[in-house]
Amino acid sequence: MRLSFVFCVACYCEVNASAGGDSGNVALLAKRGLGLNAASARRGFEVYWQVCSRCHSLELFKLGDLKHLGYSKAQILYLANGGHISKRLELPYSSKAQAKAFNNGIVPPDLSLVVKRKNAEHIKNVLFGYASVYANTTARNYYYNYSFDSGVTLMPPTLVDGVVKYASKARANLVQYVLDVSEFLTWVSEPWTNFRGWLMLPAISIFSLICGLIYSTLRRFDLELV
C-alpha cells in the first residue's frame, strides 16, 4: 500500500512538473502530453480550407473550434465571412445532384470522422498513392492510385507542391501537406484530444488524495491493532 501511495505522489509530481511551464493554452497541453502536433494541425486546416473544402464538408466541425489551435476570435470571424463562429463547413454545392455532377457521379464524403472510419495512415496512403506517371484521367474518369485494391479512384490528385500557401514558413510541398492535413483530420475526429490535458491533472490529484486517505486509514488501523 505504501508503494502505491508513493507511486501516486510520484505521478502527480511528474505531471505537475511537466505542465508547470505551460501558458495554459489547450493546444500546447495537447501537443506536449498527448501526441497532438498543434502547429501541424493548424497548417492542416489551411490545407483543408484552401483545397479540400472545395469538395468535402466537415459537418461536425465548427469554425469556433479553431480557438483550440490558437486562432483568435478575429481570425475566426474573418474565416466565417460574415457568419457566426458556430458556422459548420457544409458541402460547397447547392444540392447533392450538383455535387454528383461535379464529381464523376458521387457526393464527396464528409471528412469529420474519416480518421475514425479509416485511420490517419489510410489518408496518407491515399494522398501519396497517386502514380505520378499515370495521374492522368483514364477513359472512365478514374485516377490511378495504388492505395486502392482496384488501383483507381474517382478523386483527382488535388494536392501538389505549391498549391497551398502556408501562413508560416513551413515547406509548401506534397509531403508537408499530407502530414499536416492528416494531423488536422485526426484532431477533428477526436476533438477531446484538446481537453484531456486539462482533465489529467485534477484526475491524478484526486486519485493521489484517495490513495493518501486509504494509506492513512490503514496505517492508523494497524497502529490501533498493535
- Euclidean distance between CA atoms 123 and 129, whole angstroms: 10
- Euclidean distance between CA atoms 162 and 197, whole angstroms: 35
The reply to whether 55 sits in an annotated binding site is: yes
Given the C-alpha cell 493546444, which residue does it identify? 27
The reply to whether 56 sits in an annotated binding site is: yes
- Euclidean distance between CA atoms 25 and 10, whole angstroms: 24
Closest among 185, 188, 198, 157 to 29, alpha carbons compared: 198
- Euclidean distance between CA atoms 53 and 90, whole angstroms: 9
Half-sphere exposure of 59 (CA within 13 A, CB side): 9
The reply to whether 155 sits in an annotated binding site is: yes
Strand, coil or helix: what is 58?
A: strand
- Euclidean distance between CA atoms 126 and 128, whole angstroms: 5
- Euclidean distance between CA atoms 99 and 190, whole angstroms: 27
Annotated binding site: 52, 55-56, 155
Annotated binding site for heme c: 52, 55-56, 155
